[in-house]
Amino acid sequence: MLPDNIANQIAAGEVIQRPASAVKELLENAVDAGATEIQLFIKDAGKELVQVIDNGSGMSETDARMCFERHATSKIQSIDDLFHIRTMGFRGEALASIAAVSQVELKSRMHTEEIGTFIEIDNSFVKRQEPCQTAVGTSIAMKNLFFNVPARRNFLKSNAAEMRHIVDEFIRVALAFPHLQFSLNSNGQQMFHLEKGSLKQRVIAILGQHYNSKLVTVKESTDYMNINGFVGKPETAKKTRGDQFFFVNNRFIKSGYLHHAVMNAFAEMIPAENYPLYVLFIDLDPAHIDINVHPTKQEIKFDDEKILYAFVQSAIKHALAQFSVTPALDFEL
């Protein structure tokens, strides 16, 4: 038998590949906990510190201890639940993985408690636990990622590259939840401070003021699914990628197939090799998708991809046609 901490280290490799993986998991946990204000602190591109502080539900003393156990999830109880997932997390693997490959400090308090819990974990083991004064909500700090797996630590990229991954993950979560406040502080410098607002305000705050009055609303529904969001007017299409986002049930996904559907809708309107902005949210019954395909949940399977493709393409065509007839039309989401 492998000792638990070694087994955890091996399993952790799938979930936590780099600092940005922890950023994604910790931000999603804060969202799942019902937080309305979420702060991300980074030091040394996450190699030294990734910390998320939220004002969500907090955890009881027992939950705070349990949450680092593998498969300790509060989010699904049965196999059936797996097909109705509405939370970002459900595997109960993230915190166990983080705890296996770093030094973790957690502080948490529920609003019903006077006093919170502090827990320090090193290499999967609880090193210290004591009551502490802390705000309602949770703070989780992941320090010295891969301190105990030097081969993985050496494999990390330059700070600039790791920071780009971190910002990508931050942006994806911040776009998906415009009604929540997010901030990102790196080495003491504030990189983002995003106030609660509409999706349009969030898109412009993140992707640039030049998109102001250049966004076309996409909004269409059938019995089977909805699509909501924005595409950039054709003249804002760029030669570089980076402003393209698909979310399915609020989860960022990568899909070459759906990207193609958007590009097809824009065909003839933009020069070849140019990419329009899109920030699109597709919502459908979770029973029709399988998000369990990949540990980072960025790839998902749909029951019927062809229907989805046609739906996305026609929704964008309609949006673009409408804007060329009545250019002033610009709904708030």
**Residues at the site binding Mg ion, with contacts judged by CB under 5 A:** 29, 89, 94
Interface residue with ligand ADP among 12, 47, 54, 204 (CB under 6 A) is 54
Maximum pairwise Cα distance, the chain: 69
Using CB under 6 A as the binding rule, the residues of this chain from 239 to 268 that contact ligand ADP are none
| Count of residues touching ligand ADP (by CB under 6 A) | 24
Q: What are the C-alpha distances in Å from 107 to residues 61, 122, 130?
A: 10, 15, 10
Query: Could you say whether residue 75 binds ligand ADP (CB under 6 A)?
Result: yes
CA nearest to 80, candidates 89, 95, 65, 90:
90
* DSSP-derived secondary structure for 60-89: -HHHHHHTTSTT--SS--STGGGGG--SS-
Query: Could you say whether residue 72 binds ligand ADP (CB under 6 A)?
Result: yes
Interface residue with ligand ADP among 18, 24, 91, 214 (CB under 6 A) is 91
Using CB under 6 A as the binding rule, the residues of this chain from 5 to 34 that contact ligand ADP are 25, 29-30, 32-33
Q: 120-154 b/e with 16+ CB inside 10 Å = b?
A: bbbbbeeeeeeeeebebbbbbbbbbbbebbeebee
Q: What are the C-alpha distances in Å from 87 to residues 27, 122, 168, 184?
A: 12, 28, 20, 23
Region near ligand ADP per CB under 6 A, out of 93-101, 125-133, 274-282, 293-301: 93-101
Q: Which residue is nearest to ligand ADP (CB)?
A: 89
The token pair at 45 is 């591109």
Query: Could you say whether residue 313 binds ligand ADP (CB under 6 A)?
Result: no
Q: Which is nearer to ligand ADP, 57 or 244 (CB)?
A: 57
The token pair at 147 is 């301190």
State the Cα–Cα distance between residues 30 and 22, nearest whole angstrom.
12
State the Cα–Cα distance between residues 132 and 100, nearest whole angstrom.
24
Query: Could you say whether residue 95 binds ligand ADP (CB under 6 A)?
Result: yes
Query: Could you say whether residue 56 binds ligand ADP (CB under 6 A)?
Result: yes
Interface residue with ligand ADP among 13, 92, 286, 295 (CB under 6 A) is 92
CA nearest to 304, candidates 284, 280, 281:
284
Q: Which is nearer to Mg ion, 94 or 258 (CB)?
A: 94
Sequence-separated contacts (24+) of 53-56 with Cβ below 8 Å: 53/137, 53/138, 53/139, 54/29, 54/30, 54/137, 54/138, 54/139, 55/135, 55/136, 55/137, 56/30, 56/32, 56/137, 56/138
Q: Which residue is nearest to Mg ion (CB)?
A: 89
Per-residue mark of binding to ligand ADP, 127-156 (x: CB under 6 A): -----------x------------------
CB of 213 to ligand ADP, least distance (A): 37
Interface residue with ligand ADP among 27, 53, 59, 263 (CB under 6 A) is 59
Region near ligand ADP per CB under 6 A, out of 65-73, 247-255, 274-282, 300-308: 65-73
**In the block, which residue shows the tokens 């529904």?**
221
Interface residue with ligand ADP among 27, 94, 142, 248 (CB under 6 A) is 94
Per-residue mark of binding to ligand ADP, 33-52 (x: CB under 6 A): x-------------------
Residues at the contact surface with ligand ADP, assessed by CB under 6 A: 25, 29-30, 32-33, 54, 56-57, 59, 63, 67, 72-75, 89-96, 138
